[in-house]
C-alpha cells in the first residue's frame, strides 16, 4: 500500500484473510452511519440496517432515546426483527419466543418459571447494544468499540464543518427522510464502490456515463423533457475536489465542488422560475443562508455532486436543491460482493414542488432502474472477473491522478481544495484504511 504515490495492491479487494481482518479492524472499530433520526421519529419507531456484516436495529425506546441493538437473539442467535421499518412495543424471537423491550432488555421467556426455575438472569441476556451511539445534526452513527474516540474527535473539525453545512443542510432547516430503502446486491469489494464515490469524477465524463450524457443531449434536442434529461449534472468550470480530514484522521471527500462559481445557482434559479414563485423564493432564500455560513470565508462554496464519509457512506446529488440527496451504505458481503442500501432525503423546508422534482430525479438516475447506477455495477462486475485470479494481484492499481498537485486550488475553507478530476481522495481513503488495518 503505497498510497502517497497512488499504488495500491489489488489483493486488498480479493484476499479472504484480509477481508476477515478488515471486519475486525475497520468495521468493528470505526464509527459507522446507521441512519437518520427522521427515520425513527416516535417511541417504538425502528429501522434495520447493518454495521459491516452485523445486522442491527435502530430504534427509539419508550423514553425517547435512540438505541442501536444487534439483531440477534441471545438464546440461539435468531433475528428478532424481520422487517425494514415499523413501529413496535418490543421484539420477539420467532424461534423460542424470547421477548425484548425497546431498550434491548430481555423481558420474558415462555414457561420461564417452569423451565428455568427462577435461574434465568434476564439482566444478562438482553440484546447486545453498540458500545457508542451519537447523533450528529440528525445523522446517527454507532461504533462497537468502547475505546473508540468520541465522534467529534473521530470526524475532526473539517469533516464536521462540511457535514453540518453542506451535507445535512443544518443552516437550511435540515433534511427530511423519504420512507423505505432501495437495495441491490452488486459484484465488487465494498472499497471499490466507496472509492468511486469519494472522488472518482474521472469516469463520469471520460467513459462510464457517456451514454447517459448522450441521451440527455438527444432528448434536449428533441424537446423531450423528463426530470432525468434536465438533470443538473454539470456546471461551468471551475470545479474542485474537496478533501476534509486531509492528511489526518477520518476522511470525507467531495467531488465536483462549486466554489466562487454561481453557474449552478443561476441554473437552479432559472428552473425554479418554471416551477413557480414559491420555488424561486426558496432558491433565493437558501442562497442567502449559505452565504451567511461562509461570510467570513475567502472562498464561497455552493454545492458538490458526489462524496463519501469513510468507510462506507456514499453521498450523491448534493449539486442542487432540485436533486434528491442519496445516502448510500456500501455493506460488505464477502471480498467479492457488496450490498448497496440507498435512502433519499430532501431539504425539509423546500416547497413540495421542488421536493417532487428532486425525488423523480433520484428514481430515474442513481437507481438500479435508472440511467446511471447500472453503468457502475457493470464496471464492478468486469473488475471482479478480471481481478479474481491471484496471478493478477501482482501489478498495483494506479491512483496517481493529480499527485503532487492536490493543493492547487483556492485556500480558506476547511480541509483542502484541489483540481478536479483528481484521485486525491482515493489516496486519502487508502491512507486511513491502512492506519486502521495496522492498529493492533
Cis peptide before 120 (omega within 30 of 0): no
Indicate the average pLDDT of the chain.
Answer: 93
Residues 317, 358: Cα–Cα separation, whole Å: 9
Residues 87 and 173 in one domain: no
Confidence class for position 313, pLDDT limits 50, 70, 90: very high
- Which of 78, 105, 75 minimizes the C-alpha distance to 90? 105
Give the pLDDT score at 373. 76
**Grid cell at residue 368:** 438500479
For the chain, the domain total comes to 2
Residue 179 lies in a domain: yes
178 or 330: which leads in pLDDT? 330
The position carrying cell 475536489 is 241
Residue 47 lies in a domain: yes
Residues 276 and 311 in one domain: yes
- 122-157 pLDDT per residue, tens: 999 999 999 999 999 999 999 999 999 999 999 999
Domain range for residue 82? 32-134
Residues 422 and 315 in one domain: yes
**Grid cell at residue 355:** 421536493
Confidence class for position 57, pLDDT limits 50, 70, 90: very high
Mean pLDDT of 417-432: 97
- 329-388 pLDDT per residue, tens: 999 999 999 999 999 999 999 999 999 999 888 777 666 666 677 888 888 899 999 999
The position carrying cell 474537496 is 242
Q: If DSSP codes are grouped into helix, strand and coil, which group holds residue 229?
A: helix
Residue 139 lies in a domain: no
Residue 150 lies in a domain: no
CB neighbour list of residue 137: distance below 8 Å, 6 or more residues apart:
163, 164, 168, 170, 174
Mean pLDDT of 286-314: 96
Confidence class for position 226, pLDDT limits 50, 70, 90: confident
User: Does 233 have pLDDT greater than 70?
Assistant: no
Residues 178 and 105 in one domain: no
User: Does 253 have pLDDT greater than 80?
Assistant: yes
CATH number, residue 68: 2.102.10.10
Residues 258 and 109 in one domain: no
Residues 129 and 206 in one domain: no
Residues 205 and 114 in one domain: no
Residues 92 and 186 in one domain: no
Confidence class for position 274, pLDDT limits 50, 70, 90: very high
Residue 8 lies in a domain: no
Residue 245 lies in a domain: yes
**Grid cell at residue 168:** 445535512
Count Cβ atoms within 10 A of the Cβ of residue 48 and give its class: 0-12 exposed, 13-18 middle, 19 or more buried: buried
Residue pair 230/396 in contact by the 8 Å Cβ criterion: no
Question: Measured on CA atoms in the order 210, 212, 218, 221, is the torsion positive or negative?
Answer: negative
Any long-range contacts for 55-64 (C-beta under 8 Å, 24+ apart)? 55/79, 56/130, 56/142, 57/81, 57/91, 57/127, 58/34, 58/140, 59/102, 60/102, 61/101, 61/102, 61/103, 62/101, 62/102, 62/103, 63/103
Residues 226 and 85 in one domain: no
- 28-56 pLDDT per residue, tens: 999 999 999 999 999 999 999 999 999 99
Is the full-model pTM beyond 0.85? yes
Residues 128 and 216 in one domain: no
Amino acid at each position: 500500500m503505497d498510497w502517497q504515490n497512488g499504488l495500491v495492491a489489488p489483493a486488498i479487494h480479493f484476499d479472504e484473510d484480509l477481508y476477515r481482518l478488515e471486519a475486525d479492524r475497520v468495521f468493528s472499530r470505526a464509527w459507522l452511519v446507521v441512519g437518520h433520526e427522521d427515520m425513527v421519529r416516535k417511541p417504538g419507531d425502528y429501522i434495520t440496517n447493518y454495521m459491516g456484516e452485523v445486522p442491527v436495529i435502530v430504534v427509539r425506546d419508550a423514553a425517547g432515546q435512540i438505541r442501536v441493538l444487534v439483531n440477534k437473539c441471545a438464546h440461539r442467535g435468531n433475528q428478532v426483527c424481520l422487517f425494514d421499518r415499523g413501529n413496535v412495543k418490543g421484539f420477539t424471537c420467532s424461534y423460542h419466543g424470547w421477548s425484548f423491550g425497546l431498550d434491548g432488555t430481555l423481558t420474558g421467556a415462555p414457561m420461564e418459571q417452569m423451565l428455568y426455575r427462577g435461574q434465568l438472569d434476564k439482566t444478562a441476556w438482553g440484546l447486545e447494544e453498540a458500545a457508542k451511539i451519537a447523533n450528529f445534526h440528525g445523522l446517527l452513527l454507532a461504533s462497537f468499540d468502547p475505546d473508540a474516540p468520541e465522534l467529534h474527535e473521530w470526524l475532526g473539525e473539517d469533516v464536521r464543518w462540511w457535514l453540518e453545512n453542506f451535507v445535512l443542510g443544518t443552516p437550511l432547516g435540515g433534511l427530511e427522510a423519504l420512507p423505505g430503502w432501495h437495495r441491490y446486491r452488486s459484484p465488487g469489494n465494498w472499497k471499490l464502490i466507496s472509492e468511486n464515490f469519494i472522488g472518482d469524477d474521472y469516469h463520469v465524463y471520460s467513459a462510464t456515463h457517456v451514454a447517459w450524457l448522450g441521451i440527455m443531449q438527444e432528448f434536449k434536442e428533441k424537446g423531450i423533457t423528463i426530470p432525468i434529461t434536465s438533470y443538473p449534472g454539470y456546471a461551468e468550470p471551475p470545479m474542485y475536489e474537496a478533501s476534509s480530514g486531509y492528511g489526518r484522521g477520518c476522511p470525507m471527500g467531495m467531488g465536483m465542488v462549486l466554489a466562487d462559481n454561481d453557474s449552478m445557482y443561476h441554473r437552479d434559479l432559472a428552473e425554479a422560475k418554471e416551477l413557480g414563485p414559491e420555488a424561486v423564493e426558496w432558491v433565493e432564500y437558501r442562497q442567502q443562508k449559505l452565504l451567511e455560513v461562509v461570510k467570513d470565508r475567502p472562498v464561497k462554496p455552493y454545492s458538490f455532486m458526489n462524496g463519501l464519509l469513510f468507510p462506507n457512506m456514499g453521498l450523491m446529488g448534493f449539486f442542487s436543491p432540485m436533486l434528491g440527496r442519496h445516502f448510500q451504505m456500501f455493506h460488505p458481503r464477502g471480498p467479492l460482493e457488496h450490498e448497496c442500501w440507498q435512502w433519499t432525503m430532501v431539504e425539509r423546508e423546500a416547497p413540495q414542488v421542488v421536493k417532487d422534482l428532486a425525488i423523480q430525479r433520484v428514481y430515474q438516475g442513481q437507481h438500479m432502474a435508472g440511467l446511471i447506477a447500472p453503468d457502475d455495477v457493470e464496471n464492478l462486475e468486469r473488475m471482479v472477473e478480471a481481478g479474481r485470479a491471484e496471478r493478477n494481484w501482482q501489478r498495483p492499481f494506479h491512483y496517481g491522478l493529480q499527485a503532487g498537485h492536490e493543493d492547487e486550488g483556492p485556500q480558506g475553507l476547511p480541509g483542502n481544495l484541489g483540481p478536479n478530476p483528481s484521485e486525491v481522495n482515493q489516496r486519502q481513503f487508502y491512507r486511513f484504511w491502512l492506519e486502521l488495518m495496522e492498529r493492533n
